[in-house]
């Protein structure tokens, strides 16, 4: 009787051993070491515009600033002018462009525009940024729109027309008084070590 009972037990043990062998082989084939889960990366927070300064909606509007400014070339100068029909002065030109692109009405005063826009280093100028000059023995008394390649568009009283001048022009290079951007973003923060000589030719 014991002999007949031991055969099924022997077969069960043999079957169990075979199954364990197959499982062990399968585990050895795919590897039992589990890779640690990738470290969770902290989500990047979008840059928040500084509430003290006016900013455009996006970089595209900054590019529109340049195109709009180019469209105003040869417009007549008029002190206090804020539209092309009546004529433009420097801050009136910038305010007119910004209002048409964004709907925002900037002050009609170069110094006040400088105060309401974010400072950047001259070496960080990009097309659509603003450049300021001391042309009347006071800070930020003249301004224009930077269009790239060391050039800017402005409405000077001399020669009475909106025109393009170079930042390294001897007159303007000696009077450059800072730069401002209308574009938000941490990469545009003012830095004192940013090279300006490529712009002003110092």
Q: Is residue 26 part of a domain?
A: no
Q: What percent of the chain has pLDDT over 90?
A: 59
In this predicted structure, what is the pLDDT of residue 31?
A: 37
Q: Residue 71: pLDDT above 60?
A: yes
Q: Residue 112: pLDDT above 80?
A: yes
Rounded to an integer, the average pLDDT of 170-178 is 97
What does the block give as tokens for 140?
A: 């930020």
Q: Is residue 121 part of a domain?
A: yes
Rounded to an integer, the average pLDDT of 40-66 is 71
51-55, 140-144, 145-149, 173-177: least confidently modelled range: 51-55
Cβ–Cβ < 8 Å for 131, 125: yes
Strands (E), the chain: 82-83, 87-88, 118-120, 130-133, 142-148, 151-154, 163-166, 176-181
Q: Residue 43: pLDDT above 90?
A: no
Q: Which residues, including other chains, have CB under 8 Å from residue 165's CB and lie 6 or more apart?
A: 144, 151, 152, 154, 156, 172
How many folded domains does the chain comprise? 1
In this predicted structure, what is the pLDDT of residue 10?
A: 57
Q: Residue 38: pLDDT above 70?
A: no
Position 200 confidence tier, pLDDT thresholds 50, 70, 90: low
Q: Which residues, including other chains, have CB under 8 Å from residue 119's CB and lie 6 or more apart?
A: 178, 179, 180, 190
Where does 109-195 have alpha helices with state H? 110-115, 170-173
Task: Output the CA torsion 148→151→153→155 (10° steps).
Answer: 160
Q: Is residue 38 part of a domain?
A: no
Q: Mean pLDDT of all residues in the chain?
A: 79
In this predicted structure, what is the pLDDT of residue 192?
A: 42
Q: Residue 47: pLDDT above 50?
A: no
Q: Is residue 42 part of a domain?
A: no
CATH, residue 114 = 3.90.1720.10
Q: Is residue 171 part of a domain?
A: yes
Locate tokens 């729109």: which residue? 145
In this predicted structure, what is the pLDDT of residue 7?
A: 56
Q: Is residue 104 part of a domain?
A: yes
Catalytic positions, written as ranges: 90, 142, 154
Q: Residue 3: pLDDT above 50?
A: no
Q: Is residue 37 part of a domain?
A: no
What does the block give as tokens for 125?
A: 């100028």
The residue range of the domain holding 159 is: 59-184
Q: Is residue 64 part of a domain?
A: yes
Distance in angstroms (rounded) separating the CA atoms of residues 160 and 88: 9
Q: Residue 172: pLDDT above 50?
A: yes
Q: What percent of the chain has pLDDT over 70?
A: 66
């Amino acid at each position: 009787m014991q002999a007949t009972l031991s055969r099924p037990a022997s077969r069960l043990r043999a079957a169990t051993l075979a199954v364990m062998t197959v499982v062990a082989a399968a585990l050895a084939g795919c590897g039992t070491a589990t890779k640690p889960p990738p470290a969770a990366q902290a989500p990047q927070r979008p840059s928040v515009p500084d509430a003290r300064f006016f900013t455009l909606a996006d970089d595209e509007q900054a590019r529109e600033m340049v195109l709009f400014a180019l469209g105003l070339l040869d417009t007549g100068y008029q002190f206090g002018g804020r539209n092309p029909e009546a004529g433009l002065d420097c801050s009136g030109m910038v305010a007119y462009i910004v209002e048409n692109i964004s709907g925002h009405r900037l002050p009609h005063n170069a110094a006040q525009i400088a105060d309401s826009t974010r400072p950047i280093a001259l070496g960080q100028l990009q097309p659509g940024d603003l450049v300021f000059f001391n042309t009347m023995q006071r800070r930020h008394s003249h301004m224009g729109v930077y269009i790239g390649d060391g050039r800017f568009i402005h409405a000077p009283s001399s020669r009475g027309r909106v025109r393009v001048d170079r930042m390294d022009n001897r007159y303007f290079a000696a009077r450059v008084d800072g730069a401002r951007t209308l574009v938000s973003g941490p990469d545009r923060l003012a830095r004192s070590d940013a090279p300006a000589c490529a712009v002003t030719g110092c």
